[in-house]
Structure 1
Amino acid sequence: MPSTLRFILYSISFIIGLIAIGIGVILIVLVLAYPNLPSLDVLTDYRPKMPLRIMTADGHLIGEFGEERRAVVRIQDVPEVMKQAIMAAEDERFYQHGGVDTLGVLRAAYANFIGGGKRQGASTITMQVARNFFLSSEKTLTRKMYEALLSFKIEHNLSKDQIFELYINQIFLGQRAYGFAAASQIYFGKPLSQISIAEAAMLAGLPKAPSAFNPVVNPKRARIRQEYVLKRMRDLGFITEEQFNTAMNETLVVRRDAGQYSTHAEYVAEMARQITAERFPQDVYSAGLQVITTIQKDEQEAAYQALRKGVLDYDRRQGYRGAESFIDLKQMGEDQEESLDVALQEFPAIENLIPAVILEASPRQIKTYMRGGETLTLSGDALKFASRMLDDKAPVTKKLRRGAVIRLSKDDKGWRIAQLPEVEAAFVSAHPKDGAIRALVGGFDFNHNMFNHVTQAWRQPGSSFKPFIYSAALEKGFSPGSIVLDEPVTVSAAQTGSQAWQPKNYDGKYEGPMKLRTALTKSKNMVSIRLLQAIGPAYAQDYITRFGFDAERHPPYLTMALGAGSVTPWQMAAAYAVFANGGYRVNPYIVKEIRDQHGRVLAQATPAQAGDETLRSIDPRNAYLMYSMMRDVTIYGTAGRASAALKRQDLAGKTGTTNDHMDAWFCGFQKTVVGCAWVGFDQPKSLGNRETGGFTALPIWIAYMQEALRGVPVEQIPQPEGITAARDDIYYSENVPPAPEPEVSSPDEGLPTATPALEQPAKPVVEAFPAD
């Protein structure tokens, strides 16, 4: 036999021998390994880690907490286009193969042998399920063998739809999203049932490399991957040429902050999380608990937008402060775009305040770069707000020049320069009947500042505290028609608890004897001080605890008359609710109920209701007289724009501005809702001379009430028994004063009998406390 033929026969026999040995090894592995494969109980009894979910009272998701953000969906509820996109991207023959796609393996092997480019894989959907549930991601022959064996076992025990459902719910897709239902909400803010072909292709492209193809972090690479999936869908006949062209041209709106929800309620969600974690500390972030809060979506969004506009309007009035920071563009590498993206990651976007770096700058025009590759050229009105920082005389550390980091904002007129506000604000509203919180915004932006100013910020309330002093005075015999002097007062150090005090009225004007009603309407400081002097600071300190205030935070000195103590917006809303509900003290609450993942109620709030006499805090007549006086504040007084803007006269409330304009407040109510707005700096400093409660805080309250009172009929709080009208005012029936005497010998003599005489204090000294 020729040597060549012998060599060929020898080679063939050698190859056959190797194949036989390989088959033998595989059979041995099958015999020995298959019976020892892990149980499929984890698949047949699928119990994924479900996050803690926080919902509004009307069913909208406002927060999720847990390592995995997940939403389990049944296979029959997955849109066909989503299934097709996944198969086009990952496993086109899923419904034909038995777990391992032999044709796919051969095709990948051939492509890898002749391609010379990126290596192709042949991992099926079933193999990915096996890997995700039972194996590591290491690329070894042993692991691949076990993966194949597990795939056969899974295919033998589960139907194709069951396997596909597991894959759709378990696969990691970036942004802590597990499963396509969660990813649809996170990336596009919509349920899986509503996605388009283009969106489905974008999501289907994620499993291959969730980080590399993340449309939030890498929009360009995500687009390339999406186009590949769309072409595959077209080539496989899943979509028509027309659908392909439409999807290719569709502009996807990807949420830049993939942690956002349809409603801005981050502070509410965090409060609910803390409450739930205290009540159910075990598996709180994986057991699928659902927390139903008391807030309403539309009202919460109205409060958020109102506060945001109020803060931005204030910030714009104060002028542009200059560059937020600087980036050394000389240090950028060859790929400047990527380097800029990395540098800008240190400046997170805060909704419509997008960070950008200036590439070129002149007094009339700037060119900017935004993360993701977009460049913008701004000129004209877009630069007007920041024009002084483009001037040569601008401070070097703030001047807008090459490398300066700025903020851009987009409105109906296009992009323009903006800035991050330094000032903070808070808003909270509640139902006066039971204290259920209807809306709560703890600051300008939760991700920028997680400090909850509604519940944690202890601030001076200024004149917004006066109604509680007036209420105490009504219990001591005063009435809205009582006459008290509006004249300068000087208070000794012994009476203030610290230093001598010479307070002033906010406007610096004094009008002599006036009714209490007029004094509250005009927020006359001198009248409040004389009232407190007459009833005694110790009595007032004890009396205000009826509204939920802490006595120790309000020392019994005359400075309490002008709100020199400490309160939170949460406390103020609860306190004003007493006036709104007829004199009952209710406790605000924000969690309505907690359910398990099957909807069973585990815990439920049982709030006390106004009308329960065990909750009686003040006399109903007192509450009504205070409502009557504070109603005048919103019609004729320092909050007169409230009734004018809302076109109704059933509102009541009080403005507050503390000393040196460090805090601006407005707290007010209609019989169905009470709300409180505050504006100030975390490190207290002046807001500015014109920034009063009526100018700075009141607009936030008004904007919220436009939504909260939409469709609510104008309705006055009913007058209780025991009140009598006399001499152009109303009084407790037993305290109607006699007709005034024609002449008085001194300003403090001849007051109505219900009005105790007020002593003039001693000599003048210094002012040092709140002043509105």
Structure 2
Amino acid sequence: MSQNNPNLGSRVQRNQKKYKSSKRASWIKKVIVGGLGFISLLIVLGSIVFVFYASTAPDISYQSLSSDNSTKIYDNKGHVISRLGVQDRDYIKSNKIPSELKNAIVSIEDRRFYKHHGVDPIRILGASLSNITSGSLNLQGGSTLTQQLVKLSVFSTAASDRTFKRKAQEAWLALKVEKTYSKQQILEFYINKVYMGNNVYGMETASEYYFGKSLSKLTLAQTALLAGMPQSPSYYNPYIYPKYAQQRRDEVLNAMASYGAITQSQANAAKKTSVKTGLVSSHKSSSFSSVNEKYIDAYLKQVIQELKAEGYNTQSGLKVYTNLDLSAQKKLYDLANNDDAVGFPNSTMQIGATLVNPKTGAVNAMIGSRKSDIQFGLNRAVQTDRSSGSTAKPLMDYGPAIEYLNYPTYQLVHDTPYTYGGTSISLKDFDNKYQGTISMHKALVESRNIPAIRTLENVGVSKATSFLNSLGMTFSSDLSLQNGIGLYISTEQEAAAYSAFANNGVYHKPYLISRVVTPDKVSHDFTSEGTQVMSPATAFMMTSMLKGVMNSANGSGTAAYIPGLYQAGKTGTTQYPDNTYNGVLPAYAAMDSWFTGYTQNYALSVWTGYDKPYETGNYISAAQTNIAQLIYKYEMQYISQGKSNTDWTKPSGVTAVKSGGQTEYYKNGYSAIQPDKTTGYKGASLSTVLDSTKKATKDSKTNKDNEDDDKDSQKDKNNATQSSGSGSGSGSGSGSNNNESNQQTSQTNNNNNQTTNTQNNSNQSSSQQNH
């Protein structure tokens, strides 16, 4: 057939090709139609979602657009205590704003500003493409100036709120704003609302702050600098980052030339000017609003830290409700700054203190300095580079012993010569004496060091560290036995940890913010969920012993005693390492002095000391170690007025035993003394314990009663102890001296680290007197 009709084969091939081509075209058509249908479906669904979200958008008014963008801070009674930014804002009307500034802003932020109606799809697409090809320093946003204004006026700028819902509402409100206000009004709102760094809002105020003159008197280069700052006010700060500020300014100048607002030659001439030209060297101080902010400086600084940790921008018109008790805060401030109130010897001795509600973890007061009006200065209440001395003993030694080893309060412990294992470092006490075998209760009340370390040795550092971790303390390096008489923690951490003793063993992480309301009126509540970190028995038995620190004749914290108030607490001091002090030390001198105490309503931790303790004269004398106790006493007296005053109730799992007027406790089923692996002691009854401690108590009574009067007579003994490498807290070697000195040189840089700095902990603790 093909021979008779040679064209037939070619026709078949052509028909097959046509069929395949037709089939392919049909398939492509179906794909295109299907794709268009899918896109249409997405558009419809997106429109439905957009309309739904838009219908739930908050109201936007002239007041919200034109008002200051400050964040308001409230105390626990709902009173405004601070307005971040409001004191630094000078509003400027549109007819007073130079056209050069308006052109600069439009050129760099929204070149199609005068063409769109609030939302610009072309800008969104262009920004997306640009971000794919640009570096991180040149990222662009798809939001118009109007959308940016809406975000600043009614929405939170927290990262967690960058959702499709917020974007939809932002776009909808931008469309509404464009229908209601002119482009010039919108620019006016924006220029007066943007954050410009250094707690300054609005470009008129920024002009005065940075250049000491109004916007109308700025040069082209200065105008371009301000126009570019809102994208990243901190990063483009000309004082701190002049290189990046100049890059951003030049970017604005190039954008203005490209936009046609200026010529390229004008831009090039302006770029030759240093970004530092015209910057003023000093600024007028901000006027404090509502309350004198020097009272709340440390507290306010920590509130801002918490806000940032939660992802909030403090320059976004928030309402922040805190746990601050302003009355308690002012009292604490007055005690710290009135030299006559508690006996501060000079204006350079410093303080850090934190007041916590044990039942909730709410921080009710905090002070981080004295004799200083610097806004947001060093907050010593949260610094973690000073040893806590013997306030560590309940937390690392005796608390874990009761919890894990079921020690009764009358556990026999040994105050006998002790040397740290594997070393030649001996451990001694403030009086360089030994009391022999005594009860744990007595050892804690009188703050004997050797029994504490022996107890920690029995518990084990690993278990003790776990106990500390449960109380909110983490460490960057492993702890050692020496830390049993000195931990590097803050007053905030310690007040919260002691709160667990006050609160039947339940720990709450300390927190300052109770509620945040964003500009769109969405409320976010904050609480601290309690965790049972020790048995109620452990908490009660520890409290029963810590009461004696203040109300026993031989207690180390009798200066903190408040008659009639049910309370408990612990002292802590640290001695100088050998040969580190720059001068001659008296018979008794401490680097740090602490007192941490509590009632059922409050826990207060106080640290006192010097920022530069190695400089001549910067030591704490024996009498001055009472300052921390007196601050606790007078603050606790003040805040306890009108509050319930009830004693702690003995848990059902604890049994009380009495002898000679002394009440002791043990956990049910664990009445016998637990074995002491250091001495091989196997056990004893309560009467045996009391008999064995009677002689030690009698022998030490005379020395203890007259301790404050004859500390000077200990000079030769203390000097001999120091030179031989031993102190009241423990012995020390030359290596620990160097470590302590190195730590001090960097102290002022370690101000707000909530994680404990345990650098050189082991060596440092072994060289300090803890009492």
Task: Provide TM-score, normalisation by structure 2.
Answer: 0.51
Structure 1 CA distance for aligned equivalents of residues 90 and 638 of structure 2 = 31
Give the SS at the match of 1:675: strand
Structure 2 CA distance for aligned equivalents of residues 303 and 44 of structure 1 = 39
Contact persistence 1:485–1:513 (CA under 8 A): yes
**Per-residue deviation at 1:642?**
2.3
Residue equivalent to 1:718? 649
Contact persistence 2:398–2:455 (CA under 8 A): yes
Q: Which amino acid letter does the alignment assign opposite residue 374 of structure 2?
A: N
Instruction: Please list, as runs of the form range in 1=range in 2, the aligned pairs for 1:723-742 lying within 5 A after superposition.
Output: 723-728=654-659, 729-737=664-672
Structure 1 CA distance for aligned equivalents of residues 483 and 63 of structure 2 = 67
Instruction: Please list, as runs of the form range in 1=range in 2, the aligned pairs for 1:646-657 lying within 5 A after superposition.
Output: 646-657=562-573
**Per-residue deviation at 1:505?**
1.1
Q: Please, which of 511, 522, 528 is the counterpart of residue 607 of structure 1? A: 528
Give the SS at the match of 1:730: strand
- State the identity as a percent: 23
Structure 1 CA distance for aligned equivalents of residues 79 and 650 of structure 2 = 39
Taking a change above 3 Å as real, the CA distance of residues 748 and 530 of structure 1, as seen in their structure-2 partners, is same
Consecutive unaligned residues of structure 1, counting only runs of 5 or more, are: 1-40, 73-127, 138-156, 159-165, 183-254, 319-420, 610-614, 741-745, 757-763
Q: Please, which of 423, 432, 437 is the counterpart of residue 513 of structure 1? A: 437
Instruction: Please list, as runs of the form range in 1=range in 2, the aligned pairs for 1:622-641 lying within 5 A after superposition.
Output: 622-636=538-552, 637-641=555-559
- Alignment partner of 1:269 is 2:300: yes
Residue equivalent to 1:291? 320
Give the SS at the match of 1:662: strand
Structure 1 CA distance for aligned equivalents of residues 523 and 414 of structure 2 = 58
Residue equivalent to 2:71? 52
Instruction: Please list, as runs of the form range in 1=range in 2, the aligned pairs for 1:446-461 lying within 5 A after superposition.
Output: 447=374, 450-461=377-388
**Per-residue deviation at 1:657?**
0.2
The superposition leaves residues 505-524 of structure 1 with CA deviations (integer Å, 9 ceiling, x where unpaired) of 11333322221111111111
Contact persistence 1:538–1:556 (CA under 8 A): no
Taking a change above 3 Å as real, the CA distance of residues 131 and 177 of structure 1, as seen in their structure-2 partners, is farther
Structure 1 CA distance for aligned equivalents of residues 645 and 64 of structure 2 = 56
Q: Which amino acid letter does the alignment assign opposite residue 770 of structure 1?
A: Q
Taking a change above 3 Å as real, the CA distance of residues 490 and 693 of structure 1, as seen in their structure-2 partners, is farther
- Alignment partner of 1:560 is 2:488: no
Structure 1 CA distance for aligned equivalents of residues 352 and 433 of structure 2 = 31
Contact persistence 1:666–1:694 (CA under 8 A): no
Residue equivalent to 1:65? 84
The superposition leaves residues 6-26 of structure 1 with CA deviations (integer Å, 9 ceiling, x where unpaired) of xxxxxxxxxxxxxxxxxxxxx
Contact persistence 1:50–1:69 (CA under 8 A): no
Q: Which amino acid letter does the alignment assign opposite residue 645 of structure 2?
A: V
The superposition leaves residues 122-147 of structure 1 with CA deviations (integer Å, 9 ceiling, x where unpaired) of xxxxxx9665578899xxxxxxxxxx
Q: Please, which of 569, 573, 582 is the counterpart of residue 495 of structure 2? A: 573
Structure 2 CA distance for aligned equivalents of residues 277 and 552 of structure 1 = 23
Q: Which amino acid letter does the alignment assign opposite residue 291 of structure 1?
A: V
Residue equivalent to 2:593? 664
**Per-residue deviation at 1:616?**
1.2
Contact persistence 1:461–1:665 (CA under 8 A): yes
**Per-residue deviation at 1:618?**
0.5
Q: How many pairs does the alignment contain?
A: 445
Residue equivalent to 2:361? 435
Give the SS at the match of 1:452: coil
Contact persistence 2:673–2:683 (CA under 8 A): no
Bigger mean CA deviation after superposition, 583-592 or 264-273: 264-273
**Per-residue deviation at 1:422?**
2.2
Give the SS at the match of 2:338: helix
Structure 2 CA distance for aligned equivalents of residues 534 and 731 of structure 1 = 18
Contact persistence 2:573–2:594 (CA under 8 A): yes
Give the SS at the match of 1:734: coil
Taking a change above 3 Å as real, the CA distance of residues 488 and 448 of structure 1, as seen in their structure-2 partners, is farther
Structure 2 CA distance for aligned equivalents of residues 71 and 638 of structure 1 = 56
Q: Which amino acid letter does the alignment assign opposite residue 597 of structure 2?
A: G
Q: Which amino acid letter does the alignment assign opposite residue 670 of structure 1?
A: T
**Per-residue deviation at 1:58?**
1.3
Q: Please, which of 459, 472, 484 is the counterpart of residue 400 of structure 2? A: 472
Give the SS at the match of 1:572: helix
- Alignment partner of 1:700 is 2:637: no
The superposition leaves residues 436-457 of structure 1 with CA deviations (integer Å, 9 ceiling, x where unpaired) of 1110112223617712212233
Taking a change above 3 Å as real, the CA distance of residues 510 and 627 of structure 1, as seen in their structure-2 partners, is same
Contact persistence 2:408–2:665 (CA under 8 A): yes
- Alignment partner of 1:587 is 2:513: no
**Per-residue deviation at 1:256?**
9.4
Contact persistence 1:62–1:269 (CA under 8 A): no
Contact persistence 2:407–2:674 (CA under 8 A): no
Give the SS at the match of 1:481: coil
**Per-residue deviation at 1:266?**
1.4
Residue equivalent to 1:216? none
The superposition leaves residues 674-704 of structure 1 with CA deviations (integer Å, 9 ceiling, x where unpaired) of 1100012223448535347851211111121
- Alignment partner of 1:423 is 2:349: yes
The superposition leaves residues 79-115 of structure 1 with CA deviations (integer Å, 9 ceiling, x where unpaired) of xxxxxxxxxxxxxxxxxxxxxxxxxxxxxxxxxxxxx
Consecutive unaligned residues of structure 2, counting only runs of 5 or more, are: 1-59, 102-179, 182-188, 206-283, 577-589, 690-723, 733-766
Taking a change above 3 Å as real, the CA distance of residues 269 and 45 of structure 1, as seen in their structure-2 partners, is closer
Structure 1 CA distance for aligned equivalents of residues 609 and 673 of structure 2 = 46
**Per-residue deviation at 1:705?**
1.0
Instruction: Please list, as runs of the form range in 1=range in 2, the aligned pairs for 1:84-123 lying within 5 A after superposition.
Output: none
Taking a change above 3 Å as real, the CA distance of residues 629 and 501 of structure 1, as seen in their structure-2 partners, is same
Task: Provide TM-score, normalisation by structure 1.
Answer: 0.51
Residue equivalent to 1:526? 450
Taking a change above 3 Å as real, the CA distance of residues 294 and 605 of structure 1, as seen in their structure-2 partners, is same
Instruction: Please list, as runs of the form range in 1=range in 2, the aligned pairs for 1:209-608 lying within 5 A after superposition.
Output: 258-259=287-288, 261-262=291-292, 264-279=295-310, 284-285=314-315, 287-309=316-338, 315-316=344-345, 421-444=347-370, 445=372, 447=374, 450-468=377-395, 469-474=397-402, 475-492=404-421, 494=422, 500-553=424-477, 555-557=479-481, 559-563=482-486, 565-597=487-519, 600-608=521-529
Give the SS at the match of 2:359: coil
Instruction: Please list, as runs of the form range in 1=range in 2, the aligned pairs for 1:748-763 lying within 5 A after superposition.
Output: 749=681, 751-752=683-684
Residue equivalent to 2:606? 677
Contact persistence 1:656–1:693 (CA under 8 A): no
Structure 2 CA distance for aligned equivalents of residues 423 and 487 of structure 1 = 36
The superposition leaves residues 213-254 of structure 1 with CA deviations (integer Å, 9 ceiling, x where unpaired) of xxxxxxxxxxxxxxxxxxxxxxxxxxxxxxxxxxxxxxxxxx
The superposition leaves residues 309-337 of structure 1 with CA deviations (integer Å, 9 ceiling, x where unpaired) of 36985543x6xxxxxxxxxxxxxxxxxxx
Residue equivalent to 1:191? none
Structure 2 CA distance for aligned equivalents of residues 736 and 653 of structure 1 = 25
Structure 2 CA distance for aligned equivalents of residues 306 and 520 of structure 1 = 28
Taking a change above 3 Å as real, the CA distance of residues 42 and 129 of structure 1, as seen in their structure-2 partners, is farther
